[in-house]
Amino acid sequence: MIRLPLSWVQVVIDIGLLRRPHFLVKDVPEPPDEFSEGFVFREVRGGYQKWLHLKCPRCGEHIQIQLAGARRWTISIDWLNRPTVAPSIW
């Protein structure tokens, strides 16, 4: 599936054609040092999804979700970079 670059999504939000989603996905090669509100960071190494990192919207703690291995979550990302994680995260 084709995904719009985040800069394009931001333009669509800024001109008022779309409300900003609660979360947008950013692909990163390593875990981020700082977490931005409203972003989920998908750690991708060597073309493989490894981890999903986010800041808990309630307590602000770092949440790390496994995307590789036998027991893992899956993430689907739509064309506007909005994530859907299964099974659900509380």
Model pLDDT for residues 19-73, shown as the tens digit of each residue: 888 889 999 999 888 888 889 999 999 989 999 999 888 888 899 999 998 888 9
Band the pLDDT of 1: cuts 50, 70, 90: low
Please state whether the peptide bond connecting residue 87 to the residue before it is cis, i.e. omega within 30 degrees of 0: yes
Query: Which DSSP state fits 88?
Result: P
Written as six digits, the tokens of 86 are 């299964």
Which long-range contacts does 74-77 make (Cβ < 8 Å, 24+ apart)? 75/25, 75/42, 75/49, 77/1, 77/3, 77/25, 77/42
CB atoms < 10 A from the CB of 81, how many?
Answer: 20
- Say if pTM beats, i.e. exceeds, 0.85: no
Residue with more model confidence, 84 or 57: 84
- Tokens 């999504």 belong to residue: 9
pLDDT of residue 51: 94
Confidence of residue 10 (pLDDT cuts 50, 70, 90): confident
